[in-house]
Amino acid sequence: MGAFALIAFGWLGRKVRSDLAGGMTIGDYMRSKLHPFGYWTMIAILLITSIEGMFVQGMAGGVLLNILFGLPIPLGLLCFFVFCVLFAGIGGIRTIHRFANVQIVITFATAILIPVYFFIGKGVEHVFNGLRLYHPYLLVLNNHEGMLFIVTGVLIGFGQVFVDQATWQRLYMMEEKKVVPTFLLSGLIFATIPLAFSAMIFIVLFSGGFHDIFSLLFELVRKIDTLFLLVLFVLCSFGAITSAFGAGLHSMISLMVNNVYQLFRPEASERQKIRLGYTLAIVTGAVSFCLTLYFTPTLLDLLFFFGIIYASLFLPVIVIILTRGRASNFIIISAIAGLASGYISRLYVDNMKAIWIASSVTALVLLLYLCIASVHKHYMRTKART
Amino acid sequence: MISFEGFTLLILFFILAPIIEAIALLFLFIFEKRIDLLENRNVKIELEKELQQALYNQLNQQIQPHFLFNTLNVILSLARLNRTRELVRALEVLSQFLKFKYKSTEPLISLQREIDYTEQYLEIQKLRFGSRLSIQLDCADDLLSACIPPFVLQTLVENAFKHGLERKMGEALLKIRISSEDEEVRLEVIDNGSSGMEDLSHEAPPTEEPQLEKSGHGLDNIRRRLHLCFGDHAQLSLSPIEEGGTQVLVVWPFVLCDPYESEVRG
């Protein structure tokens, strides 16, 4: 899902870099393209999405610690947060990038070795028979619900990639001529790694049913009976979550410091900015910890709940990037309309439909705005001629 | 419903895709720096080319005042001698010559065009020398389209006058022979004037190799331009003739010029 989104973002990235070459964050770009109302609304939405992103990754880290060491999820989440804040907050982007190569090696080793080991050990026929017995719906080609789920995932994936602050920060870090090939390659990696992990999920599914995603992970860990592969899997999972969390935390701090704090206090020193960054990281960790004490949503619930935001932002962000000069506030209003309709409709329909309603409303409002803008432009041109 | 074979293929794809991706990534990691290096080298080569072009243009520009002052001296001599008709003709030819000269910016021109330029110069000299000057020009037709850096022949002829024929009493003979041998063009400019070696040795820097190889500003310029265009494949040598006079030999690879371009420009 994210694969296509990353490849598409690479193409848009070129336009972004040519529009504003000297930026550093998504906030810098939005500031140059939006009016104050649109800018601050966008910053508020971005802040919510980055906190949500960290919360989801924190939850995943907590769950993993729970599965491996039996730690309660809130405690596991807190440990994970402390580790990540120390890793990304203090180490900075350099530490994240230093571990990136090791993480890639571990991820590929896991994605290649574990499926090969299991499919050779168990035999493809056993897995196939198990799946046919317990989960025959997975083997049906015209599974409409499954298709809808995948398409919805693509929609959310596009939105998630297009507003992801870490992706924008990376876009501004690389050489301009390497933007398209880098995102193309990242997209290809994103396409193959999930395939390998799907193969791993088959290994778990073939021997019985499952309760939720957490139980699937628990089963997978239980099934990996070789210590080497288990260590590899744990390192891969932690590496992926930690680096994603680290990059997310770092980009959120950059956004807050550069695009919010500096506008209110331009005379602030570098030390003050760094202190604010740490405070933000600690506050996010504390808030996430408190949230998990009261409710433990599943990762799928979170994905759908926040999917409404991503589905509503996906089209407006494209229109903002493609607009020449400053983009109108109506583009942001279309996103707000989508968000409102998505969350209201969620009270009456299921999550997946709410996501589609949100994105459809955004698309309609945007289309209306674009039509009016085009007619207005045409009228003004004709008037000027006469 | 997916069949067992289909499922096996699917699993095979799921397993192979990351392996292929990992190999591609590894390949990219290993060769990324090399690719960057190659790109940088290309840029460097482009820059060097630009620099060479700039240097070449500069050398081309350098030769123009050199020729101009010599010709102005010829015209001045005609004026001093009150040879008005010849003076007018000389100015007319000079004007035509300069018109071509200042228009020419390409690094290589056809031998035909070079001969045309030189003939205009010779016209000026003929006016000055009158019947005392005899010129022999031998060039096979198939060599007329060979490429040559501009002003090579003209500079050699000019040097023959400046260092040889100017001081010659009696008949002044200038031979221009253009022939080909082993895919190379040989250009010989022979005069029967004083050998002029002493003269040339004054102009050339003292570090130059043998005495015979010493040359003035014009010859040095030709050497450098030939080297820029043909590298070590081109050479220029200067030698005295026993019966009196100097022979200059230039050899460079035979490269055909665009006939259409030469036609249009010529």
Q: What is the largest CA-CA distance in chain B?
A: 110
Q: Look at residue B209 in the predicted model and tell me its pLDDT.
A: 40
Cα–Cα–Cα angle for A257, A262, A267, nearest 5°?
A: 125
Given the structure tokens 């009976």, which residue do they identify? Answer: A225
**Cα distances (angstroms) measured from residue B211 to each of A370, B158, B219:** 83, 21, 14
Label residue A156 by pLDDT band (50, 70, 90): confident
Residue A86 or residue A112, greater confidence: A112
Label residue A300 by pLDDT band (50, 70, 90): confident
Q: Which residues of A touch B23 (CB under 8 A)?
A: none
| Mean pLDDT estimate for chain B | 78
Helix ranges, chain A (H): 2-19, 26-33, 36-69, 73-84, 92-122, 124-134, 144-163, 165-173, 179-205, 213-223, 227-256, 262-264, 270-294, 299-322, 329-345, 351-385
Contact status of A143 with chain B (Cβ, < 8 Å): no
Which of A103, A108, A133 is the best mutation test for B, with the most CBs of B within 10 A? Answer: A108
In this predicted model, what pLDDT tens digit does every residue of A226-258 receive, in sequence order?
888 888 888 888 888 888 888 787 788 888 888
ipTM metric: 0.71
At B95, which amino acid appears?
Answer: S
Give the whole-number percent of chain B exceeding pLDDT 90: 9
Residue B240 or residue A73, greater confidence: B240
Label residue B60 by pLDDT band (50, 70, 90): low
Does B13 have pLDDT greater than 60? yes
Q: b or e along A333-363 (b: 16 or more beta carbons within 10 Å of the residue's beta carbon)?
A: bbbbbbbebbbebbeeeebbebbbbbbebbb
Q: Look at residue A362 in the predicted model and tell me its pLDDT.
A: 92
Q: Look at residue A103 in the predicted model and tell me its pLDDT.
A: 84
Which of A110, A125, A128, A133 is the best mutation test for B, with the most CBs of B within 10 A? Answer: A128
Task: Yes or no: say if A24 and A169 are a contact pair by the CB < 8 Å rule.
Answer: yes
State how far the Cα of B22 lies from the Cα of B26, in Å rounded to an integer.
Answer: 6
Which residue is closest to A189 within chain B, CA to CA?
A: B21
Give the whole-number percent of chain A exceeding pLDDT 90: 6
Q: Look at residue B203 in the predicted model and tell me its pLDDT.
A: 46
Nearest-CB residue to B14 (from A108, A136, A195): A195
Task: Yes or no: say if A298 and A213 are a contact pair by the CB < 8 Å rule.
Answer: yes
Given the structure tokens 């790109």, which residue do they identify? Answer: B39
At A161, which amino acid appears?
Answer: V
Residue A357 or residue B154, greater confidence: A357
Is the torsion defined by CA of B91, B95, B97, B101 positive or negative? positive
Contact status of A161 with chain B (Cβ, < 8 Å): no
The pair of structure tokens assigned to A248 is 């997310």
CB-CB under 8 Å, B19 with A195: no
Quote the strand ranges of chain B, DSSP E. 109-110, 133-139, 147-148, 172-181, 184-191, 235-240, 246-253
Q: Look at residue A337 in the predicted model and tell me its pLDDT.
A: 92
Q: Which residues of A touch B17 (CB under 8 A)?
A: 191-192, 195-196
Q: Look at residue B210 in the predicted model and tell me its pLDDT.
A: 40
Q: Look at residue B213 in the predicted model and tell me its pLDDT.
A: 40
State how far the Cα of A305 lies from the Cα of A302, in Å rounded to an integer.
Answer: 5
CB pairs under 8 A between A and B: 61
Backbone φ and ψ of A347, nearest 5°: -70, -25
Residue B115 or residue A197, greater confidence: B115
**Cα distances (angstroms) measured from residue A382 to each of A323, A385, B59, B62:** 22, 5, 58, 59
Backbone φ and ψ of B164, nearest 5°: -125, -70
C-alpha distance from B45 to closest chain A C-alpha (Å): 20
State how far the Cα of A8 lies from the Cα of A20, in Å rounded to an integer.
Answer: 19
Q: Look at residue B101 in the predicted model and tell me its pLDDT.
A: 67
CB-CB under 8 Å, A127 with B14: no
CB-CB under 8 Å, B22 with A112: yes
Label residue A341 by pLDDT band (50, 70, 90): very high
Strand order in the sheet with B246-253: B133-139, B172-181, B184-191, B246-253, B235-240
Label residue B188 by pLDDT band (50, 70, 90): very high
Q: Look at residue B176 in the predicted model and tell me its pLDDT.
A: 94
Q: Look at residue B59 in the predicted model and tell me its pLDDT.
A: 65
Does B121 have pLDDT greater than 50? yes
Q: Look at residue B181 in the predicted model and tell me its pLDDT.
A: 85
In this predicted model, what pLDDT tens digit does every residue of A99-124 receive, in sequence order?
778 888 888 888 888 888 888 887 77
| Mean pLDDT estimate for chain A | 82
Q: Which residues of A touch B43 (CB under 8 A)?
A: none
Nearest-CB residue to A119 (from B11, B22, B24): B11
The pair of structure tokens assigned to B71 is 């010709």
C-alpha distance from B122 to closest chain A C-alpha (Å): 56
Mean pLDDT within A137-143: 71
Q: If DSSP codes are grouped into helix, strand and coil, which group holds residue A376? A: helix
Pairs from A133-140 (Cβ < 8 Å, separation ≥ 24): A134/A205, A134/A206, A134/A207, A134/A208, A134/A209, A135/A205, A135/A209, A136/B1, A138/A205, A139/B1, A139/B2, A139/B7, A140/B1, A140/B2
Does B61 have pLDDT greater than 80? no
Q: Look at residue B250 in the predicted model and tell me its pLDDT.
A: 94
Closest CA to A285 of A66, A63, A51: A51
Task: Provide the whole-model pTM.
Answer: 0.62
CB-CB under 8 Å, B11 with A111: no
Does B133 have pLDDT greater than 80? yes
Label residue B178 by pLDDT band (50, 70, 90): very high
Mean pLDDT within A346-358: 87
Give the whole-number percent of chain A exceeding pLDDT 70: 94
Contact status of A192 with chain B (Cβ, < 8 Å): yes
Mean pLDDT within A45-72: 82
Closest CA to A78 of A65, A91, A93: A65
Q: Which residues of B touch A112 (CB under 8 A)?
A: 15, 18-19, 22
Q: Look at residue B212 in the predicted model and tell me its pLDDT.
A: 40
Question: Left (φ > 0), alpha (ψ -120 to 50) or beta: where does B82 sit?
Answer: left
**Cα distances (angstroms) measured from residue A275 to each of A43, A93, A271, A281, A327:** 20, 16, 6, 10, 34
Which residue is closest to B17 within chain A, CA to CA?
A: A192
Q: Look at residue A209 in the predicted model and tell me its pLDDT.
A: 65
CB-CB under 8 Å, B20 with A196: no
Task: Yes or no: say if B102 and B224 are a contact pair by the CB < 8 Å rule.
Answer: no
Mean pLDDT within B144-159: 86
